[in-house]
Chains A and B, each alone.
Chain A
Amino acid sequence: MKMLFTAFCRRNLALAKLAIVTNLEYRFNFIIDAFIQPILTVGVEVLLWVAIFNTVAKTADATGLIGGFGRDSYLAYAVWAPFLGRIAISWMYEAMMVEEVASGSINTILSRPLSFFEYYLSQTLGYKVITTLFSVTVPIALSLYFKLPIHFDRLFGAFLIVVYYLFLVHTMSFIVSALGFYLTRVRSFTLLKNLSLTLLGGELVPIDLMPKALADLLLTLPFTAGVYVPLAYITGRGGSELLMQGFISTTWGLAVAGTVAYILWNRGIREYTGTGA
């Protein structure tokens, strides 16, 4: 039993390392992915919020608050939301998983002593860890420079929920790729899923600003655990009860997605005829 577990850990560590090495191979690519893109995205969002609050200051609202929160709170949101949003979404590895099923190259993984789910989960986590380690310097530096209201002591809890949420994201990627057994071309599902997650997760629009009924509904769904919940936790909009709610909703999200994935995969793999060499 112990040997099985050791083999499992070593195998997955090797896969995570593989993802890290692959992504660091082309350094120019990596620098853009880890630094340039987050800086540009954050810059545009910060400018939008500065413009909004400049207008609020000039016009009616004497409190200078929007939805109960001030300028610095929204700037903190604008700085951290794109960063968390990038961690909590899977484009590259989902595209690779879909391609494996569509092209038939999945055969090479199926014939190995590891699962397709595990193979890509470890790689996704490895990739996310390495890009996060580098790109987290951007929001931290900006938060310190602009003295934004960030509870740095809560960062660990926030990252913990994002990592947990990544399991849900990966299970959804697994569902999309399993659909490839039935539909062949499923790339558009990735687009639709990821755009929906961006909207439902609170990356684009802070959930506090949405109409109350809609905000309450979104908070009960697991998708806010990727961006809004960790962000609300580190900016002080919510406390540990919100974080706990995020963990619970992600857990039932995982249960539902896991069940769907299990059914789709098992039926699909039975019907699948390998065409790869």
Chain B
Amino acid sequence: MTLLMTQLSKLKKYSVIYNAFFKASLVADLEYRLNFVVLVIGEFVWYSTQLILFEVLYRHTNIIGDWNIDQMRVFIFLVLFVDSIYMILWDPSFSAFTDNVRKGTLDLLLMKPINSMFMLSSQRISVSHIPCFFITFAGLFWALGKLPQFDWFKLLWLILLIPAGLSVVFCGRFALNATSIIFTRADFLQYIWYSVFRLGLRPDAIYSGFLRVILIFILPFAMVASIPARILLEPTQAWMIAWALVLPFILFYLLKKYWNFCLKYYTSASS
């Protein structure tokens, strides 16, 4: 009972802090309104390019991998939906990570009396991605509506699958950022991330053999959207559900170990 109360108290504390972070980010983003509007337009352009690529490709072929255009639209909207959640919650903080290491401002964040991983991942929220969240969510429903005889109850699986996909993105990006502690200046780790993340932006059917196994089990970017899309579009496979259940626990366990390992290398850059 006492343990439960302690956990609830912690949850409340973190909710209050997160609320404060959100308000601060909202004020900061809306301070320069034209910049904010252009940012929103820029995000729409980026999301549109992903859609346009496949719309153009399907003008010349009926099937890519295992899917036709209607099925591919479900995949694309799903990947963009997960991406928008990630961008809202964590991307601004992760993008500032290497600068914090290089300039020494990481000291200040590590000294706060809260979980360091929470502090480093959630300090800033991207308000400009919120419109994309709603648009991609609506797009997902639109794409599903175009499928003949879609079982809408299957959407309940997303309650499990989307957090699993987000855990892959969160842990992957955090681990890569943590590596910058070892190398001090590692700005280009971010570009590696964008390249690796591209693996998840494509359906797993384009990968074959060992590479596909890697993308499902070792660098599990298939969990971001490919596996959720397969569960929605194809007969449910038990191993996929089981993997989605287990994966976040494995990833967070490994991430915590790796984070502690990297922190041992941290030498403050500030005075």
Residues of A in contact with B (beta carbons under 8 Å apart): 26, 28-30, 32-33, 36-37, 40-41, 44, 47-48, 50-52, 55-56, 59-61, 66-67, 183-189, 191-192, 195-196, 198-199, 204-205, 209-211
Additional pairs, 19, CB under 8 Å, beyond known A56-B60, A191-B42: A30-B188, A32-B186, A36-B192, A36-B195, A37-B188, A37-B191, A41-B198, A44-B195, A44-B202, A48-B206, A52-B61, A55-B63, A66-B60, A188-B42, A192-B39, A196-B45, A204-B53, A209-B59, A210-B56
Q: Find chain A residues with CB under 8 A from B187 CB.
A: 29
Q: Are B56 and A188 in contact (CB under 8 A)?
A: no
Which residues of the other chain, B, contact A66 by a CB distance below 8 angstroms? Answer: 60-61
B183 at the interface (CB under 8 A from A): yes
Whether a CB of chain A sits under 8 angstroms from the CB of B245 is no
Is B35 a contact of A32 with CB atoms below 8 Å? no
Given contacts A32-B189, A47-B202, A189-B38, contact A55 B53 (CB under 8 A): no
Assembly CA distance A40 to B49 (angstroms): 19
What does DSSP make chain B's interface, helix, strand, loop or mixed? helix
Interface presence of B41 (CB below 8 A): yes
CB of A52 within 8 A of CB of B192, answer no
B167-219 contacts to A (CB < 8 Å): 183, 185-189, 191-192, 195-196, 198-199, 202, 205-207, 211
Give the residue name and chain of the A residue nearest to B185 (CB).
A26
Q: How far is the CB of B267 from chain A (nearest CB, A)?
A: 16
A-B contact list, 22 entries, CB within 8 Å = A29-B188, A36-B192, A37-B191, A37-B195, A40-B196, A40-B198, A44-B202, A47-B202, A47-B206, A47-B207, A48-B206, A51-B65, A52-B64, A59-B63, A61-B61, A66-B60, A188-B39, A189-B38, A195-B49, A204-B53, A205-B53, A210-B56
Residues of B within 8 A of A186 (CB): 35
Q: What's the minimum C-beta distance from B214 to chain A, rounded to whole angstroms?
A: 12
Name A's interface SS: helix
B34 interfacial contact with A, CB 8 Å: yes
Q: Is the CB of A55 within 8 A of B38?
A: no
Q: Which residues of A contact B192 (CB under 8 A)?
A: 32, 36-37, 40
B20 close to chain A: CB less than 8 A? no
Spell out B's residues near A (CB within 8 Å): 31-32, 34-36, 38-39, 41-42, 45-46, 49, 52-53, 56-57, 59-65, 128, 183, 185-189, 191-192, 195-196, 198-199, 202, 205-207, 211
Closest to A209 in B: B56
In the bound complex, CA of A48 to CA of B199 (Å): 10
B161 → chain A closest CB, angstroms = 22
